[in-house]
Amino acid sequence: MTQQASRTAIVTGAARGIGAAVAKRLARDGFAVAVVDLDADACKPVVTEIESAGGRALAVGADVSDEQAVEAAVQRIAAELGAPTVLVNNAGIIRDNLLFKMSAGDWDAVMNVHLRGAFLMSRAAQKHMTEAGWGRIVNLSSTSALGNRGQANYSAAKAGLQGFTKTLAIELGKFGVTVNAIAPGFIETEMTAATAARVGVPFEDYKKGAAAQIPVRRVGRPEDIAHTVSFFVSEDAGFVSGQVIYVAGGPRA
């Protein structure tokens, strides 16, 4: 019985892609996992896979940008799985466009999910972490935080998450809570497939083009991010906090 086996993790945006891979990895590491996304039914295949492997999981439908929905979701998770002491803020959307074409609604939607969502989830979960004297928060940023054409909203949100991460690390460290961020590069997901479709390039060609620019000569997989999350939330990573690691197949600066 590992120490993780008595701990509960929340992963947002976990119905597919990076979030699903993270949820399954944390379950494999011994955590009970709340699989959170807009639609609880969309989370059920991930929950079923975790339970089939002998783990514990719960499908939770919640809009992370809705304050009341977040509070209710975290309370339910605490009641049904146990007090959450690990939070992975992965939920995200894209509304890409050049600045002069970007609507205020596109800007607000991205900010609400990425930044407001991470704020609300972290605020709700930290109560349980500080009471336990132990916690881990991992925020999903992006290499787009360094700037990316057509993503003024997404880039600003992901850069904001890095500042958010460093501030929470300062505030929560004395309670035994570490806060770190992962900035993925090109990861093969439905979101990157949607980007390829938006620019009118077949996804396989899009991936090949991206891989040619990456030092390790391949695009990333959701499991690459899940492995890094696994390290950040481990007991042995307790002296690592306020950091942003670029999981991008090469250096980013």
* Catalytic site positions: 154
Q: DSSP secondary-structure letter at 37? A: E
CA 126, CA 134: separation in Å to the nearest integer?
A: 10
CA 112, CA 74: separation in Å to the nearest integer?
A: 18
Specify the 3-state DSSP secondary structure of 242: coil
Alpha-carbon separation of residue 57 from 20, 110, 153, 195 (angstroms) = 12, 28, 33, 31
- Please, is 23 exposed, middle or buried when counting C-beta atoms within 10 Å of its C-beta (0-12, 13-18, 19+)? buried
Whether 107 and 59 have beta carbons less than 8 Å apart is answered as no
Look at the chain and count its residues.
253
